[in-house]
Structures are given as structure tokens and as C-alpha cells.
Amino acid sequence: MLPQSTRRQFAQCAALGVGGVGLSGWLDVLAARAQAQPAAAAAPRRARSVVLLWMDGGPSHKDTFDLKPESRGAGEFKPVATSAAGVQISEHLPKLARHMHEGVLVRGMSTPEGAHPRAKYNLHTGYREGQGGLVYPSLGAIAAAELGRPESPVPAFVSIGGRSYGSGFLGPRYQPLMVQDAARGVEDLRASVGESQFGRRMGLLDEMERAFHGEYRAPLVTDHQTTYQRAVRLMQAREGQAFDLSKEPAAGKAKYGTGKFAEGVLMARRLVEVGVPFVEVTLGGWDTHNDVFNRVKNLSAQVDNATSALLDDLRERGLLDSTLVIWMGEFGRTPNINTRGPVPGRDHYPRAWSLAMWGGGLRGGRVVGRTDREGATVEDGKVGTADFLATVCELTGIDHTKKNETPTGRPVQIVDKPKPFTSLVV
Amino acid sequence: MKPFRLLAAFAVTLGVTICLGDLTTAQDAPTKADKKAKNKNKNKLDPAAQAPLRPAVPVKPIVLPSGPKDAAALARIIDAEVDKALAAAKVATSPAATDEEFVRRVYLDVTGVIPTGEQARAFLDSKAEDRREKLIDDLLASPNFGKRLADVWFPKLFPRDSNNRFVLRDPLVKWLTDKFNANTPWNVFVFELVTATGTVEENPAVTYYLANRSVDKLTDGITQHFLGIQLQCAQCHNHPFTDWKQTEYWGMAEFFARVRPDNPKNANKGGDNTKVGVQETAARTKVKDFFPESAKQVAPKFLGGAEVKIAATEPARPILARWMTAPDNPFFAKAMVNRTWAALFGSGFVNPIDDMHDDNPASHPALLDAMARDFGRNGFDVKFLYKSILLSKAYGRTSKPAAGNDKDEALFSHQAVKVMSPEQLFDSLAQATGLSQQVAARQAKNPMAKGQPSGPRDQFVNFFLAGADAFTPTEYEAGIPQALRLMNSRQLAGNPQAVRLYQTNAKDEPRAVLEKMFLATLARRPTPAEVTRLTNYVQGAGTQAEGYGDVLWAILNSSEFTMIR
């Protein structure tokens, strides 16, 4: 049998001194301990939370953040000036244009994968799918492991409105809590019976657990109890209300716009407020092989409303400097406009593309990397997948040179051979 | 987690002898001192445990009985060896499992699902002396044996990889199930898989090559699953703590260099992905991304063995497969024996089970060696291997620790408490709540499309694995989302229909209803104290159905249910 893993040790620490305490007693113990812990002083200029706005399908860089009005494949959209000197973005992102002095545009993204699943995997994990025969943890799982607070009743990684990449070899403790539909909240967060009946059920379960543990004394039983207790705490925790959008005043909701993405971004803000280190919100529909202009116009409006509302709210609450907001997809789209369908479109293009970041202690108003006249190649300041992820790690105080161990004891660095560009943006 | 155990130190103090793999041809093998230097920074454990081991005396092979196959005789050898090591270490032995522990354990281990209430009752009420042996025979003959082993092997052979979304899953699942149920000799099974050629329709085993369309995946997978060796690190650099060199890696990889798998996506566009398949060609394959950037071209060479000349007109894989599956192959039989032992005890003689090398010695080297020899001599009979282990007293012990042996994790003084795999958990929940029938009906109506997981069982398994590619029976790894689902989904423990399986009539005696419920979930009768307590509970509840529902919910969410004791 293998030596006990750190996961198990953690579980035992968490459950320390609670053997034989009933559920409610256990909750009291933990609540008391959580209060007794002073909030850790954050390192200066280090984000404590990340909100990843995931643009699923690959947004066209030439129709959002890197317009090329002089190029052969110029789109229909006009560039407009922003609050960052000399930086122009699409006319369909007018509200974000007023936030560009708080943000950094990365126009030098250049990545290896051009098929959706492999590219999504690469951008989420920093590794290529299948590399070394491992399943790698995604950035959210890494953030959960490195930044999560064990005493928090809310899981450290929440993913809203899409599928995400999970915790891979880091194990289930760091996998995302999935929220399929923000309006409906967390699946299974509410008991299927009334509160008092649920309490009685937990009482019965607690009796069974104690009897079994008394006889078999297997550490596994402690782990099982710990997981259940954490789940019940989440069901009962005040922080759990962050998942309930009905608690949000109507005035606060409206500015996010309407639709699932708007609801997801609002939920992300509520989760950041209760200290969740990593929230991912997905907006699908960016795979615009045809009808690129109508579709990007519509998607831009959703991005513009929700993201600017998020940035305003974070600033108002004093959370913008400690929250890094990232807008990105898995690649860009071809500089040329295709004529394969009745309406023009653009195809997958990982060679040169853009992403944007705001808050998180960034020195705003900057642009990293430059593409050529066509938006086809990165002429200066090329940023690869590992470079970008390592930069995010540095902005959040995660040591990306740390080696995590796979279950078979192989050391795997959080990010492999990166050249982060942190110094350019803080 | 480290692939090293304190047991190594144990072995030294006991004078337990360590059997070194017969890697006779590794001429440039580093000296022990070299290795020690390499290992120095590798481990945070007690340095004494990390010192390379030298056999105190040469390993004396265990003499196996001659004559016809006799599982009971092999079981006696297993027990003699296990007990000898326990006595030498002065570790107490736990007593035999109760019938309640045994019946549930053996059903889950062999058929992947808990016994029904009737099956549990029949076994517990049997007075026959040979009831355990008879049950073992029945379960090994049950079609669920093949299903269980297919559940174990399918994820190893069919990685969760986006490239595989167009590869059909069902033909391989069925092939595996049928092969295990037919008790195909392990050497034949592996030979067929490694040499698979043709279309999915003609030979479903080619699915392995369709789902692993690169030379490194094939090399890593085949050495890991069938030879018990982790080579993948040697792909890009010499392995840090074993003898494996990059040349060994690419020498093995060369056997797959002429494999030409079709692209399943193309068939998918044509709509028939049973017509795709695998061929072996005269020239190196041109399949896109088949060779990684780190690929080197060297002469084909058996792992730790000889280089081979292969004519271009001759397929290479049968040559590899013949070497792998030969009775004298140093890795093949041991790998399967160790894997099977681990499936039944929660951990192997060597752990991780597919990382067998000199510096990661077996806990019982002579026994592993004897069982591997016996496996080969008996025609690689998988069911026979299962039966001999299942008949042993070591397998049949209780998992309750006794007399201070609770710290023992390597000498098998008591059985391990294991966690059910997601497949075992789903099938057991479905059986205990009556979901099975509904699922079967629904799946008959909507057969799987496009090789994508579908149906509640696959969804449940994916949800519980949460992207992990392997399941560890000795770790409780479920997280908050899984606990929430088990507690609060109305399809599982909280299924309001489930109570009707146990309370068919309002006049049913509580004692009888509770007994039915306990037998069908925990394979035991409730204790008198439980009957009293739970009868009071049910009578105090709003309605009887609500009370029974609460009891069933608590049972299905308990450690006792989700674990194999």
C-alpha cells in the first residue's frame, strides 16, 4: 500500500479532534476554528482571485481586440479609441473601451493547437493533450490547490455554464464545482427533502458512520466523513448564497445584460466576494466559420455589458486590484475571410491571436505583442501557452516552478519552460 | 505519493530476499552506487529505506506442486508464505472474515456489484462447509465477471482523449467482456490485442490502436499494462531511477513503427465507423502525429533483451507479442499476477502495480515469483489465478484490525477496506434503488452514438472520475460535488420510489422491512440494537414511507455502503 497521500493527511487535519462529534458539533468546531484564523495578509500586488471568461470556439481577434482596417481580410467593424492611449478596439465593445486603462491586451498569443478540444486542453493546462501519458490539472485546479483556503465552505474552483478541464492528477479535491445554469444555481446544493428531515437523515448517517468507524478504524472512513461534512457545510453556509442569484438586487443585475453569460458573470462576482480563488464562466458560440460579423456583434454585446459591469462592481467593492479578470478563447481566427458559405466567416487560427486581462494589480493601458498588417503573424512579443499561464501564476503569487507529484511519484512542473511577461505589466 | 515503501527497510531487517529481475543484457547497467547517487534527492523518506537492496542469500524458489491444476494447493502456498512473513515481522493476524463481510466483498471483487438481498440471504443461511468455495466458482462463472474485468481494462486501453470521440467504444467493451467470460488464456488475449489487424467490424481489438494513434502511447501503454513497467519517462531522457535508457524505449517503440491506424473521423463523416481499422505496412507509417518530436529511430529491441532483425515483408507486432507472452518472459506473468493480487487486496506485492523495477522490490518476492511461474505453467488461466487467491485464508480475512496490526499496510495481516470504483458504486446503487431496470429500458431505446459516453452509468462514472484517468481503491477521492449528488439527487439515494422495493405493504413488520433493506444494501442483517433504534425512528416519522426512505438514504450514503470491507 502506498504511503498516505497529502490529501489524506489534509483530511485528517481537517477532521482532527472531531472523532465522535456529531454533525452539528462538528460544524461548530469548524466554524469556531475558521473564525479564529486571521485572514492571511495577501502579498502586495498579488491577485487573490481569478475570473476566467472563457470564449468557447475561438474568438476572431481581428473583429474584437486587434482590428486591422488596412488589411486584405479586414472585417466590417470600425476600430474605436479607448481609455488607454493609442489603443483601439472594436466599436462593438464601447463599454470595455472605457476600461482599457485598467487592462492589458495581449496581441501576441501564438499557440500550437488548431483543433478545438486539443487547443482548449492546451490553454487550460499548459500541456498538450496526451503528453507524457498524463492528465494535467487545469489552471483552475492549480489555483484551487495553491490559493484555496481549506477552511472555506465553498470549493476553490467553480466553473459556470460550460464544461471545464478538471484537476487531472491532482485528484478530485481540486476539481471544479460545476454550475450548468447560473439561474438554477448549484445542482444538488439543496436537499431533496425539507430541512428538518434532512437533519434527521444526517443524524442517522452519523450514527452509522460512527459504528462503522469504531469497528474498522480505516482512514478512508475519516476521509468520507470529511467530504460529506464539507458538502453539508456548503449546503448550509451563508457563502453558499453566492450561488443564489435571487438574492441579488434587481438594479445590480440589470447592468450585466440578459442571458446565461450575464448571469454567470454576476455569479462569478458574488463568488469572488466570498473568497473563491478561481471562477470560470463560459460563453459559447465563437466558432464562426460562417456569419462571423453578425455573430461576433451579438457576442460582443454580451461580453461588453457583463464584463464592464463586473469591473465596475469589483472596483466599487475594492476588489479590482485583488481580482484578475481574463477574457480568452482557445485560438483566434483566420486573417482572411472565407467564402465557404453564403455569408462570410473565419476559420481556426492559433498562430496569432489576442486575449485581454483587467484588474489583478496590472499596470493598465498596455499592449503586449504586435501582429503584422494582416493580423497573421506575431511580429514582436510572441506569447506561448506556457508563457501566458506562468504570467497568470506570477500575478496570483503561485510558484509555477513548483513540481507537483503524480500518483506514481513523477514530478511535474506547474508550467513547463515558460518565459512569463509579468515584468511588462505590473 | 512515492513508489517506495517503508517495507523495503522491513525487508532488510527481516532478511527477506529480494528477487532482481533478470535483466541479463543491460551491459551498461549503472552500478548500485551510481543508482544510489541518482536516488539521493529523489526521496524524502527514511534513507535506510532507500538503500539499494542486496539479497542476503540467493532467492530459493518455492517448489510448486506437480500434477493437475489445483487451486487449493496454490492457496496453501500463498498462505504459508504470507504467514511466514507475518510471523517473522511479529505482526498479528486478523481472524477470518464473517460470512457477511465475505459475501459482499467477493461479489464486488469478482462481479463488480453487491449481492441482491436474496443472494446475500441464501449465502448467510447456507450451512454447507464448502459454501465459500462454491460461491467463488459460481461468481467466476457468472457473466458479470467479464463485465467487471471489462470495466477495469477498458479505461486503460481507451484513453479519455478528445481524439477518440469518433472511435466506437461498444465493440471493444463487448470484446473484452466476451474474452474474460470465455477465460481466454492471458497470453492469447495479449497476443490478439497486440497483433490486432483489420477493421473494427472484423476484429474489435483493433480499437486499441484506433484509440492510441501514436507510437509513444502504444509503447507506454503496452509496457505498462502487460509488462508492469513504466517506460514513459525514458521517452525523452534516461529514466532517473531505473535501468531504462532511451534506446530501450525507442527499441520497443520500433515494433509499432509500421502500424497504420485509419483516422476514425473520416469514417465518421461517411457514417460508418465500424469500417475503420488498422494495418501493418512495409514502410514506416506516415500517419500524422504518429511519431512525437522526441522520436528516435533505432533497431527494434526487446525490453532488456536482444535486438531483432525484421524483414520489411514481415509484420513486426507478432514478433513482439511472441516474446512478451512467452512463459519465460521476465515481466509478463509477474505483471498480471501482481495486478490481480492488487485487485483483490487493494495493493500489490509491488506498488504502484505497474512500476516494477529493481529499486521498487516486491513485499513477497518468492511468492510473486512462484505464482508467476504457476500462472505460466497452467496456461495463463486467469480464472484459475483468481480462484487460487480467492480461496486463500489471506483473502478471506476480516478487514478489522486486530492486536495492533492496524498499521500494517504491506503484509496482508488483515484485508484492506477498499472504496468502490465509480462503476461498482453505480451498479450497486442502481440495484439497491431499482434504477437498473429503468436504465436498461432506456438504453435499449437509445443505443450509444458516435462513441461518446452516454447513459446514466457513463455519466456517473465520468462525474466521479472528474477527469482523473485512474481510480485508486485505497483512497477516498470523491469531492464535494460527488457527495452533493449522492445526497441530494432524486435519482440515487433519495429516489422516492426505492422504498417500495422493501416495503411492499403497509402492514409489513418493521423488522422484516429493515432486514430486507440491510441484506440488499449491506449484505447483512441489522443488529438487534439497529432494529430497535430504526423501528422507533420509522414509527416516529411523519409517515412510514418517509421513515424508511430516511433509513435507506442513510445506508446508501454511508461508508459501509460505499466501501468494500
CATH number of the CATH domain containing A129: 3.40.720.10
Give the residue among B511, B508, B514 at the shortest CA–CA distance from B552: B514
Among A359-368, A369-378, B155-164, the minimum mean pLDDT is found in B155-164
Q: Does the pLDDT of residue B512 top 90, yes or no?
A: yes
Whether A247 shows a pLDDT value over 80: the answer reads: yes
Strand partners, A411: A405
**Integer CA distances (angstroms), B373 to B218, B336, B355, B366, in order:** 27, 12, 20, 11
In a domain, residue A4? The reply is no
User: What is the distance in angstroms between the Cα of B329 and the nearest Cα belonging to chain A?
Assistant: 25
| Residue of A5, A113, A157, A208 to mutate when probing chain B, most B C-beta within 10 A | A208
CA distances from B115 to B16, B110, B194 (A): 40, 11, 35
pLDDT digits (tens, 9 = 90+) for B266-300: 765 556 788 899 999 999 999 988 998 778 899 99
| Residues B232/B12, Cβ–Cβ less than 8 Å | no
Of A200, A220, A235, the CB nearest to B476: A220
Domain spans, chain B: 71-144+341-349+359-412, 163-325, 422-446+456-564
Domain membership of residue A27 (yes or no) is no
Contacts of B348 in chain A (CB under 8 A): none
Residues A381 and A269 grouped into a single domain: yes
Cβ neighbours for A274, distance < 8 A, ≥ 6 positions apart: A154, A239, A242
Q: Are A78 and A180 found together in one domain? A: yes
CA distance A233 to chain B (A): 10
> How distant is the Cα of A116 from the closest Cα of chain B, in angstroms?
9
- From the list B515, B520, B482, the residue with the least C-alpha distance to B498 is B520
What's the count of helices (H) and strands (E) in chain A, helices before strands? Answer: 12, 16
> Could you give the number of structural domains in chain A?
2
Name the least confident of A8-17, A49-58, B179-188, B518-527. Answer: A8-17
pLDDT top residue among B43 and A349: A349
Q: Regarding beta strands B418-419 and B563-564, do their DSSP bridges make them parallel or antiparallel, or are they unpaired?
A: antiparallel
pLDDT at B268: 57
* CA–CA dist A82, B313 (Å, integer): 67
Q: Are residues A227 and A354 in the same domain?
A: no
Mutation target to probe the B interface, by most B beta carbons within 10 A, among A212, A408, A413, A417 is A408
Cell 500500500, residue located: A1
d(CA B556, CA B308): 56
β-partners of residue B404 are none
Q: How many CA within 13 A on the CB side of residue A373? A: 3
Q: What residues of chain A lie within 8 A of the CB of B541, using their CB?
A: 200
For B20-52, write each residue's pLDDT tens digit.
233 223 333 333 333 333 333 333 333 333 333
The answer to whether position A248 is within a domain reads: yes
Domain match, A367 and A227 both: no
- Could you tell me if A76 and A116 lie in one domain? yes
pLDDT at B233: 65
Question: B484 and A1 in contact by Cβ < 8 A?
Answer: no
Cβ–Cβ below 8 Å for B468 and A135: yes
Cβ A300 vs Cβ A27: under 8 Å: no
Closest by CA to B20, choosing from B330, B411, B318, is B330
- Residue A289 DSSP code: S
Q: Do A177 and B481 touch (CB under 8 A)?
A: yes
DSSP string, A262-279: HHHHHHHHHHHHTT-SEE
pLDDT grade, residue B62 (50/70/90)? confident
* Residue whose cell numbers read 482596417: A69
Cell 502579498 belongs to residue: A43
| Residues sharing a CB contact under 8 Å with residue B155, sequence separation 6 or more, in sequence order | B469, B470
Neighbours of B191 (CB within 10 A): 19
**Cβ within 8 Å, pair A221-B563:** yes
Determine the distance in angstroms separating the CA of A292 from the nearest CA of chain B, rounded to an integer.
25
Same domain, residue pair A266 and A223: no
The answer to whether the CB atoms of B474 and A207 lie below 8 A apart is no
Q: A121 lies in which domain range?
A: 49-185+244-424
Q: What is the pLDDT of residues B387-432, one digit of tens each?
A: 999 999 999 999 999 988 988 888 999 999 999 999 999 999 999 9
Across the interface, of B165, B467, B478, the residue whose CB is closest to A165 is: B467
Q: Please tell me the distance from the alpha carbon of residue B16 to that of residue B13, in angstroms, as a whole number.
A: 8
Please write the tens of the pLDDT for every residue from B197-252. Answer: 999 999 999 999 999 999 999 999 999 999 999 887 666 666 655 667 888 899 99
Chain B interface, best mutation among A136, A139, A198, A204, by max B CB count within 10 A: A204
- Residues B369, B61 contacting (CB under 8 angstroms): yes
pLDDT at position A25? 45
Cell of B342: 492488487
Pick from A116, A187, A408: CB nearest B3: A408
Contacts of A129 in chain B (CB under 8 A): 161-163
Q: Same domain for A362 and A325?
A: yes
Q: Could you tell me if B394 and B79 are in contact, meaning their C-beta atoms sit under 8 angstroms apart?
A: yes
Q: How confident is the model at residue B351 (pLDDT cuts 50, 70, 90)?
A: confident
Contact residues, chain A, for B346 at CB < 8 Å: 1
The answer to whether the CB atoms of A190 and B488 lie below 8 A apart is: yes
Can you tell me the distance from the alpha carbon of B7 to that of B4, in angstroms, rounded to the nearest whole number? 8
- Least trusted range by pLDDT, from A15-29, B120-134, B149-163: A15-29
DSSP string, B280-311: E-SS----TT-S-TT------B-TTS-B----
Q: Which of A208, A223, A240 is the last residue in one of the domains?
A: A240
Domain boundary among A212, A240, A268: A240
Q: For B1, which of A191, A217, A409 is closest by C-beta distance?
A: A409
Mean pLDDT throughout B250-258? 96
Final residue before a domain boundary, out of A197, A223, A240: A240
Grid coordinates representing B56 are 542476503
* Neighboring chain B residues of A223 at a CB cutoff of 8 Å: 475-476
Cis before residue B352, ω within 30 degrees of 0? yes
Strands (E), A144-200: 157-160, 177-179
User: Which chain A residue shows the shortest CA-CA distance from B526?
Assistant: A208
Question: How far, in Å, CA of B197 to CA of B77, rounded?
Answer: 41
Give residue B439's pLDDT.
Answer: 66
Size of interface A-B (CB pairs under 8 A): 205
Same domain, yes or no, for A346 and A217? no
DSSP classification of residue A112: S
In a domain, A339, yes or no: yes
- Nearest residue to B7 via CA among B350, B333, B240, B488: B350
Query: Which of B479, B494, B565 is the closest to A173 by Cβ?
Result: B479
Mean pLDDT estimate for chain B:
85
Question: How far, in Å, CA of B309 to CA of A152, rounded?
Answer: 62
Residue contact A227–B220, C-beta within 8 A: no
**Grid cell in block for residue B134:** 462454491
- Greater model confidence, A238 or A11: A238
The answer to whether A33 and A262 are in contact (CB under 8 A) is: no
HEC per residue, A34-81: HHHCCCCCCCCCCCCEEEEEEECCCCCHHHCCCCCCCCCCCCCCCEEE
- Cell 489603443 maps to which residue? A87
Q: Is the Cβ pair A8, B475 closer than 8 Å?
A: yes
For residue B490, the Cα-to-chain-centroid distance in whole angstroms is 31
Q: What's A329's DSSP letter?
A: E
Residue B526: pLDDT band (50, 70, 90) is very high
The C-alpha atoms of residue A407 and residue A262 are separated, in whole angstroms, by 39
pTM of this prediction? 0.78
Per-residue pLDDT of A327-344, as tens digits, reads 999 999 999 999 877 889
